[in-house]
Amino acid sequence: MRYLLFLLASLILISCGSSRKNPPSRIIDRPIVFDEEREQLSLDYMKERYGLEQEQPVIEPKMVVLHWTAIPTLERSFEAFKNPTLPGARTEIAGAGNLNVSTQFLVDRDGTIYRLMPETTMGRHVIGLNHAAIGVENVGGTPETPLTEAQVEANIWLVRYLKSKYDIQYVIGHHEYTNFEDHELWLEKDESYRTQKSDPGEEFMAKVRAATADLQFKPLPEPVRNETFPLIRDIVEDYEKYKENTLEERRIKHEDILPLIAKWKDHELFEVNKVGTSIEGRSLNLISVGSGDTDVLLWSQMHGDESTATMAVFDILNFLADDSFQQEKQELLQNVRLHFLPMLNPDGAEEFQRRNALGIDVNRDALRLQSPEAQSLKRIRDSLDADFGFNLHDQSRYYNAEGTEKPATISFLAPAYDYEKSVNDVRGNAMKLIVQMNELLQEYASGNVGRYNDDFEPRAFGDNIQKWGTSTILIESGGFPDDREKQEIRKLNFLAILAAIFSISEEDYKRAAIADYSKIPENDSKLYDLKLTGLQYELLGDQYILDLGINHSEIPSKGEQKFYFRSNIADQGDLSTNYGYQAIDVSGFSLKPGKIYPQTLPNLKAAEKLDFSDLLSEGIAYVKVKDLPKGQNYTNYPIIIVGERFRAPEKIEVGMNPTFFLQKTGESGYAVINGFVISLDGSAPKIENGLIIRN
C-alpha cells in the first residue's frame, strides 16, 4: 500500500514537472515567419520606440494583453501576422516602423490555442508595452463573429498558464492600454503615436477577470486624463463673470475697444504698446502678459467685419486679470508670454467691411506688405519670433460640417506652408492643438466644428507665418442657431483659445494625434437660413415640385438699427443635399403669389392702422404707399410696402425677394414675407423686418 502511494505520488510529480518543461498538450505550435528580417525589425522597433538596445528581441513578461483580430477566420487571421513586414494597407501605424504585427498566441473560435512565436520574443501588438506584454489574439470580433464562450475559457486557461510561468502582474484588454501612459512600464517615446482600440471589450474582460480573481492581478491604473480640460470646464462655468460687457454685438468699432485698451495699459499685469497705425490713423495695440519663454501671438479682425474673436480676446483679458484661478494662471504666465493684437483692421471695422481703407484684403498682403496693418503684423511676428500664432477670423454662417445639418460654428485650419501641404513639426503642433480644441468644443457644441480648406495660399498671413516657423492656427467663427450676434460663438472662442493657451503651457497638446486632425469634418457650404421642401409650383398651367433655399441677408443701415434683412432666394430645385437653420416640409402646399392691397395709402404712418393678420389671411403681401419716406428701406410691419407703380412678380426665381403664400386645402397655411415664415394660425404675425420696395 505504501509502495503504491509512493508510486502514485511519483507519477504526479513527474507529470507536474514535465508540464513545466514541455508545452501542455493544449497549445499547438504554428509559427509565423520569424527570420533574420523580422528579428532585425523587432530590434529596430525596440530601439526606436522604447530606447531599448538589445542583442535579441526578447521581453520580460509583466502583462497579458487580450485582443480580437476583427477577422472572421483562423486562416485569414494567421495570414495577417505571418509575414515579417506590415502589409501596405496599415498606413496608420506604418510611420512607427515596418515590423508586422503579431501576438504570441492566437485562439480560434472553438478555443484551440495556437502559439505563433516563442512566448518571450517581442510581438508588435500594443503601443508602449510590447517589451513587457504577451499578446493573445482571438479570431473574430466582427459584428457577425462575436467572441465565443470557448474563447473565453481558452483565454482563462492561457492566463493561468502564463501566470504560472512568468511574473505576470496585469491582465488587460487591448482597449485599456492607454491607461498605462503614465505607468513605469510605458516606454513609447512619441506622445502622439496612439490608435483607438475597442477589442476585446468590457464583457470579455469581465469574464476573464472574474475567473482569474484568485491570481490577484493588479488593478488597471487610472486612465491618464487631459490635464487642461477639467480646468477649462471650471473656468467656463463662470464665463459670465469674465465676459466684457461693454462689447455685446458684432458691429464693434475702434472707439469701442480704446477704453478697454487704456484700462489694461494702467493695469500692472499687462504691458500695452502701440505697434502701428492704420491708413486712416487708428492705433494698433499689442497687449502682452506673462514672463515665459514660449511666445504666443494672437491677432483678430484682420477683416473688419469679423469681430467675434475680438470680443473673446477681451473676455480672456478679464479672466487673466480676475482674482480667480490664481495658481493656475501664475503657472501659465511663468511658462508663456501672450501677445494680443485685437482689431488689426480698425478702418474696416469702422464700416463693418472685410477690406481695409485701401480696399485690399489684408490677408492677401503678407508678401507685398503694402498696407500698414500688414506691415505691423509682420514686424511683430518677426520681432517676437512667436512659437504659436492664432489667426482669428469669422466665416460664412452658411458653412456646415460636411455631411451634416450642423453649422460649422467653429472651423479650424493649420494652414499649409507649401503646395504639397507638407507637415513638419511647426504645422504638426498646430494640428495637435486643433485636435485638442476640437475635442473640448464637442462638449459644448457637438458636431459644430469644421475643418477649413488647407490649399496653400502664398499671399495669406496664416500660410506664411506657418512657413516662417510659428505654429499657426486659424480659427473661423461661423454661425450658430439663434445667435445672430455671435455671443454663444464668442464663448466658444473664449474656451477654445484658453484651452489652447493652457495646453501650450503644459505641453499637453503633444499627447494629441495628428491623425485625428483629418477626422474633423471639412467645411461644406450647404446651409440656408430657411429651407422649404417639396412645395407645389404652377407655371404656364403645369405643376412642378420645388425646394427653396432662402437666405436672410444683412444690409447695413444708418438708421436706428445697424442693419436690416433683405432676403433672397439662394437656390431652387432639388435641394435634398442642403440644410436649413430652419427647415420646413411644405409638401402638398401650393405657392400662391402675394396680392396687392386694393387701396393706396397716403403715407407710411397710415399703414399702422392696418390689421396685418387680416391682410395676410386674405393673401395680401403688398401695400402701396404714395409718399415713401426717403432713405428708409425697411419697416417693422410683417408686409412689403411698395411704390405706386409696383407690380407683383409673376414667377419666382433665384435672387428675388421671397414673398408669397403657401396654401393647402384644410390647412391654415403660411405667409412668407421677406423670406420669413408666418404661420397663419391666427396668432399675431411677426417677422424680423418687412421691406420698402420703391417700384
Question: In angstroms, what is the minimal distance from the CB of 306 to Zn ion?
Answer: 5
Q: Closer CB to Zn ion, residue 43 or residue 413?
A: 413
Of 71 and 343, nearer to Zn ion (C-beta) is 343
In the complex with Zn ion, the residue whose CB is nearer, 121 or 493, is: 493
- Closest to Zn ion by CB, 355 or 491: 355
DSSP 3-state assignment of 411?
Answer: strand
Residues 426-485 that bind Zn ion (CB under 5 A): none
Q: Between 27 and 360, name the residue whose CB sits nearer to Zn ion.
A: 360
- Report how far apart, in Å, the C-alpha atoms of 371 and of each of 342, 376, 574 are: 17, 9, 45
In contact, 171 and 212? CB cutoff 8 Å? yes
- Among residues 355, 341, 333, 356, the alpha carbon closest in space to that of 391 is found at 341
Q: Least distance (Å) from Zn ion to the CB of residue 288?
A: 24
Nearest-angstrom CA–CA distance, 84 and 50: 20
Which of 164, 154, 152, 146 lies closest to 205 in space, CA to CA? Answer: 152
Beta strands in 69-191 (DSSP E): 105-107, 113-115, 133-138, 170-173
Shortest separation between residue 362's beta carbon and Zn ion, angstroms: 9
Q: Specify burial of residue 327 (Cβ count, 10 A radius: 0-12, 13-18, 19+).
A: exposed
Grid cell at residue 30: 504554428
* Shortest CB 361 distance to Zn ion, Å: 8
Length of the chain counted residue by residue? 695
Cell numbers placing 317: 483679458
Taking the complex as a whole, the smallest distance from the CB of residue 461 to Zn ion amounts, in Å, to 10
Residue with the shortest CB distance to Zn ion = 393
Strand pairing report for 471-477 and 410-413:
antiparallel
Spell out, one character per residue from 119 to 148, where the chain touches Zn ion: x when CB under 5 A holds, - when not: ------------------------------
CA distance 42 to 9: 45
| For Zn ion, the closer CB: 256 or 306 | 306
Q: How many residues bind Zn ion (CB under 5 A)?
A: 3
Q: Which three cell numbers stand for residue 631?
A: 432713405
Local structure of residue 636 (DSSP, 8 states): S
Backbone φ and ψ for 635, nearest 5 degrees, come out as: -135, 175
Residue type, 670: Y
Q: String of b and e for 280-306 (b: at least 16 CB within 10 Å)?
A: eebebbbbbbbebebbbbbbbbbbbbb
For residues 306 and 373, which CB has a smaller minimum distance to Zn ion in the complex?
306
Instruction: With beta carbons less than 8 A apart as the criterion, state whether 663 and 669 touch.
Output: yes
Q: Which is nearer to Zn ion, 417 or 461 (CB)?
A: 461
Is residue 373 part of the contact set for Zn ion (CB under 5 A)?
no
690-693/640-642 β-pairing: parallel
| Closest separation in Å from C-beta 263 to Zn ion | 27
Nearer to Zn ion by Cβ, of 170 and 461: the residue is: 461
Q: Give residues 381-400 in contact with Zn ion (rule: CB under 5 A).
A: 393
Q: Measured at the alpha carbon of residue 671, what is the angle toward residues 670 and 672, in degrees to the nearest 5?
A: 115
Which residues belong to the active site?
A: 476
289-328 residues in contact with Zn ion (CB under 5 A) are 303, 306
Residue 557 Cβ vs Zn ion, minimum distance, rounded to whole Å:
23
Longest dimension (CA), the chain: 129
Bridge partners of 254?
Answer: none
Cβ–Cβ under 8 Å, residues 280 and 350? yes
The residue among 137 and 306 lying less far from Zn ion, judged by its C-beta, is: 306
* Residue whose CB is less far from Zn ion, 199 or 306: 306
Q: How far is Cα 588 from Cα 174, in angstroms, rounded to an integer?
A: 55
DSSP 7: H
- For 336-423, where are the alpha helices, taking DSSP H only? 346-351, 372-384
CB of 454 to Zn ion, least distance (A): 16
Q: Given the complex with Zn ion, which of 303 and 381 has the nearer CB atom?
A: 303
Q: Which is nearer to Zn ion, 478 or 549 (CB)?
A: 478
In eight-state DSSP terms, residue 142 is B
How many whole angstroms separate alpha carbon 330 and alpha carbon 322? 12
Helices (H), 99-252: 149-165, 202-211, 228-237, 239-242
Residue 91 — φ and ψ, nearest 5°? -70, -25
Contacts of 33 (CB under 8 A, 6+ apart): 82, 83, 84
| Close Cβ partners of 687 (under 8 Å, ≥ 6 residues apart) | 638, 673, 674, 676, 678
Residue 20 CB contacts under 8 Å (≥ 6 apart), including other chains: 165
Strands 660-663 and 590-593: antiparallel
Q: Which alpha helices (DSSP H) does 22-89 contain, by range?
A: 36-50, 74-82
Calpha distance 560→541 (Å, rounded) = 45
Backbone angles phi, psi at 177, to 5 degrees: -65, -30
Alpha helices in 552-661 (DSSP H): 612-617
Residues that bind Zn ion (CB under 5 A): 303, 306, 393
